[in-house]
Amino acid sequence: MRRAAVGVAMFAAVVLVGHAQSPGLTGRVVADSTGEPIANARVTLTTTAAVATLGAPVGLTDADGRFAIPGAADAQRVVASKSGYARSEPAATTGQPIEIRLRRGATISGRVVDRFGDPVAGARVAAQAPSRAQDNPASVAVAESDDRGEYRLAGLPAGHFVVVAMTMSMTTTPEIVGNRQVFISRPEVQRTYYPGATTPAEAQTFDLQFGDERPDIDFVVPTGHAIGNPFSVMRLTPSPLPQPANAAVRTTGIIRGRIVSADGRGLSHAQVRLMQTGFGVRSTTTADEDGSFEFTDLPPGKFGVIASKMGYSPIGSDDAPLGLLLNSGSTLDLAEGETHEKVDLRLQRWGTLEGRVFDELGDPIQGASVQLLHMRYESGRRRLVPAGGAAHATDDLGRYRIYALAPGRYVVSATVGDVADLPGYTRSYFPGTPNAGEAQFVSMGVSQDLTGIDFSLSRTRTARISGKMIDAAGQPTTGGTVQLLPSAQSTSVTSVPAGARILPDGQFEFANVPPGQYVIQVYRGRQNRWIEGEFVSIPVTVNGTDIKDLILQTSSGSSIKGRITFDTYNDSKTPARSAIELMPIPTDFDLSPRNNLAIAEIHDDWSFDMKGVNGPRRLQLTRVPRGWTLKQVLVHRLDATDRPLPFGRPDQSLTDVEVVLTDRMTELSGTIADDRATPTAGASLIVFPMNRDRWYPSSRFLGTTTAGADGAFTLSGLPMGAYYAVAVARLPTEGEDAWQDPAFLESLVPRASSVTLGDAQKISLPLRLVSR
């Protein structure tokens, strides 16, 4: 089902969201202290409706502070707000203009630290009305602490408030599952009321007047493992049950060391974990003031030490500090009774980036969502995608701060949504453009602090997209993921999904959607490895006018059943089922889920099945056992190898699929040397077909491998055909599959060697390293 709306931009006294109609409510918003008009104030309505509804009209005031919004029959109050001011909610009076006077909001600011005085990032700080009846009353304003532990609550009205800092700690306990000891981590919310109370009744009450500023309201929270520390999200690996103590083996081993910064300074109070092979996390400790740590009473064995401290990460350039953390650290073999000294670990300080976001008038925007993007090759296209980590909201001064940044090149973008919800603003990019192609990349060095990344949001026509979701059985549903994504057919270079507001009856709404081509995808999640969840994808074109009454009905998809057979020429042993992975790979990401794809369930008799498959797919082996390769895929005894197959309806299910593996393989081997004929360790070989029709994502005709220490390489299992082969010092860094980008492959052709692989042919090919 497709609904496209074509409309005309409305830029007069006010920008409206919704259909143009005679205004039911008009008025003016002014500053209470001066009577001066307030431009770009947000005005909306609350209603007396018994249940939540979507599509409440939202407008912005013009340069003279005037607004006009459609009046609802059940309108109860008008809500007016603006960054830096306390919101006002006068009664709605249709038929005559009203004047709304905004007063400057009060602020409360401070820091959140742990018992050592170190900052706690990600703490949720809230101002609440005092209540003796409720343990957790409703919040009037909410903020989050940054990597310095700093927070700022703004827009507070006059009144009495208590302030609470909420942190989450992970409580890890061992549990026995079968014959394994598994460490289970569960989050626990800890509430600390200023100045250090555990209940709102014991908290200090702040008596605020409009415009008051209360700085230095600092919290000391009782946690050393708050969410935001990399250790807090580590998945602890299952470990076998401890073996009975062997009286003959002494547990007197000792490991000592120091946690230091990149310049050698000791990092006090860093968290240190000792990992033991076959056991998991053996012990945890906290470094002292000098960064020194010690683990005692250790049995002999292989150990690893990893460390974490807020504001630091292991030295390297990994995009994800957690991934870098888990692959860092020092490993050692500890003999019985041995003492290992000077097991030192270096951590580098995070990079940070900060700036301000304004509207077109130069006024700060509160609640804008600021996000870093980087260029990546995903789903067959090179696009700007989120660089990892959550988006950061601006405060009442328009300020934002992004931390835990690895070195790299980023694009800084900002948008308004659930928090600000300002109609007429589209995603904008530093230094202040709505066109991603005109965005300026920001280069982040190691441990660099970038400041002054200020820019304005851009105005454009925006619209709302709304409708209702129902499941495959025709019942309203709210489960799963609902996203609005730029279509793969669009010219957009940005691919950032937008989430919807969803009501309990299945109604959904996307607000502030700029013009463009999109797809709405609803995915209810993979049930298990071989059953994808219900799914639907609908294309929409937005031209500035609302799109209403869409019906998104998910489909339970098609099923695929078949068997795996083996053509054996070399008396190879039949591989283990676990060594084979068969998946339906999407060929059009507008029509299929982009992740959580089914993996075939392979049974003892080599039959397999998958269910819930939607959209065109290729059946591909994504993991092949050593010594085997794909020969062909047959559907009803007809060759369907590498061919896109349609799925989604029950009548598109397949019941007679044969996936044939063979041990008759091609092999390409040789050495990679530089221009001085010196073998080049770590260089990459890229092999790709001369037939450009086969340059599609995850094509089995594309292959890469890395040369060993002696420059030697071997690449097996490519299908027969004519290929280009080229050696490069390193693969592109814009994603795991960036080397498959057709534009990159095309750039390699002039420097590539030609090779033709026949049936089971083995060819030796010496290669010289070429520069990109």
pLDDT at residue 617, rounded to an integer: 96
Q: Model confidence at 496, in pLDDT bands (50, 70, 90)?
A: confident
Average pLDDT value for residue range 461-488: 89
Q: Which two tokens stand for residue 103?
A: 């007063």
pLDDT at residue 739, rounded to an integer: 95
Is pLDDT above 70 for 233? no
Is pLDDT above 90 for 199? no
pLDDT at residue 349, rounded to an integer: 87
Q: Which two tokens stand for residue 6?
A: 């074509």
Rounded-to-integer distance, Cα 460 and Cα 319, Å: 33
Element spanning 20, H or E: none
CATH number for domain 351-459, candidates 3.40.50.9100, 1.10.1660.10, 2.60.40.1120, 3.20.190.10: 2.60.40.1120
pLDDT at residue 105, rounded to an integer: 96
- Cα 230 to Cα 37, 237, 306, 311, 669: the distances in Å are 47, 16, 11, 10, 42
pLDDT tens, position by position, 168-180: 876 666 666 666 6
Determine whether 658 is exposed, middle or buried from the number of CB atoms within 10 Å of its CB (0-12, 13-18, 19+).
middle
Q: Model confidence at 323, in pLDDT bands (50, 70, 90)?
A: very low
Average pLDDT value for residue range 235-260: 64
Rounded-to-integer distance, Cα 240 and Cα 177, Å: 10
Spelled out in words, what is the top-level CATH class assigned to the domain 558-662? mainly beta
**DSSP labels, 177-217:** ETTEEEEEEEEEEEEEETTTBSSGGGSPPEEE-TT-EE---
Q: Model confidence at 329, in pLDDT bands (50, 70, 90)?
A: low
pLDDT at residue 236, rounded to an integer: 36
pLDDT at residue 706, rounded to an integer: 94
pLDDT at residue 304, rounded to an integer: 86
Contact 681, 710 (CB under 8 A): yes
| Range from 18-27, 172-181, 529-538 carrying the lowest mean pLDDT | 18-27
Is pLDDT above 90 for 361? yes
Is pLDDT above 80 for 301? yes
If one compares 49 and 116, the residue with the highest pLDDT of the two is 116
Is pLDDT above 70 for 554? yes
pLDDT at residue 317, rounded to an integer: 43
Is pLDDT above 70 for 133? no
Contact 658, 562 (CB under 8 A): yes
pLDDT at residue 184, rounded to an integer: 65
pLDDT at residue 360, rounded to an integer: 93
Each domain of the chain, given as residue ranges in start order, spans: 106-232, 250-349, 351-459, 463-553, 558-662, 667-770
The fraction of the chain above a pLDDT of 90, given in percent, is 57
Is pLDDT above 90 for 459? no
pTM exceeds 0.75: yes
Contact 712, 740 (CB under 8 A): no
| Range from 166-175, 236-245, 551-560 carrying the lowest mean pLDDT | 236-245
Beta 507-513 vs 463-470: how paired, if at all?
antiparallel
Fold: same for 106-232 and 667-770: yes
Average pLDDT value for residue range 244-260: 77
Average pLDDT value for residue range 589-600: 91
The fraction of the chain above a pLDDT of 70, given in percent, is 85
Contact 68, 15 (CB under 8 A): no
Q: Which two tokens stand for residue 486?
A: 């730029």
**Alpha carbon 202 to chain centroid, angstroms:** 39
Beta 345-349 vs 271-276: how paired, if at all?
unpaired
Is pLDDT above 80 for 71? no
Is pLDDT above 80 for 341? yes
Q: Model confidence at 312, in pLDDT bands (50, 70, 90)?
A: confident
pLDDT tens, position by position, 575-593: 999 999 999 999 999 999 9
Contact 226, 122 (CB under 8 A): yes
Task: Please tell me the CATH superfamily of domain 106-232, with its number.
Answer: Immunoglobulins (2.60.40.10)
Radius of gyration of the chain (CA): 30
Residues forming beta bridges with residue 363, ordered by sequence position: none
**DSSP labels, 701-770:** T-EEEE--TTSEEEEE-PPSEEEEEEEESS--SSSTTGGG-HHHHHHHGGGPEEEEE-TT-EEE--EEEE
If one compares 678 and 325, the residue with the highest pLDDT of the two is 678
Instruction: Collect all residues with Cβ–Cβ distance below 8 Å to 563 and sequence separation of at least 6.
Output: 605, 606, 607, 608, 657, 658, 659
CA atoms within a 13 Å half-sphere pointing along the CA-CB vector of 523: 25
Instruction: Collect all residues with Cβ–Cβ distance below 8 Å to 323 and sequence separation of at least 6.
Output: none
Rounded-to-integer distance, Cα 183 and Cα 128, Å: 36
Peptide bond between residue 364 and the one before it cis (omega within 30 degrees of 0): no
The CATH number assigned to the domain with range 667-770 reads: 2.60.40.10
Q: Model confidence at 248, in pLDDT bands (50, 70, 90)?
A: low
The third-level CATH classification (topology) of the domain covering 250-349 is Immunoglobulin-like (2.60.40)
Is pLDDT above 80 for 235? no
**DSSP labels, 417-473:** -TTT--TTEE-EETTTBS-GGGPPPEEE-TT-EE----EE-EE---EEEEEEEE-TT
Q: How many CB atoms lie within 10 A of CB 475?
A: 10
Average pLDDT value for residue range 411-425: 79
**If you average pLDDT over every residue of the chain, what do you get?**
86
- Cα 733 to Cα 194, 243, 740: the distances in Å are 47, 44, 12
Phi-psi region of 361 (alpha: psi -120 to 50; beta: other; left: phi over 0): alpha
pLDDT at residue 170, rounded to an integer: 65
Average pLDDT value for residue range 74-81: 81
The third-level CATH classification (topology) of the domain covering 463-553 is Immunoglobulin-like (2.60.40)
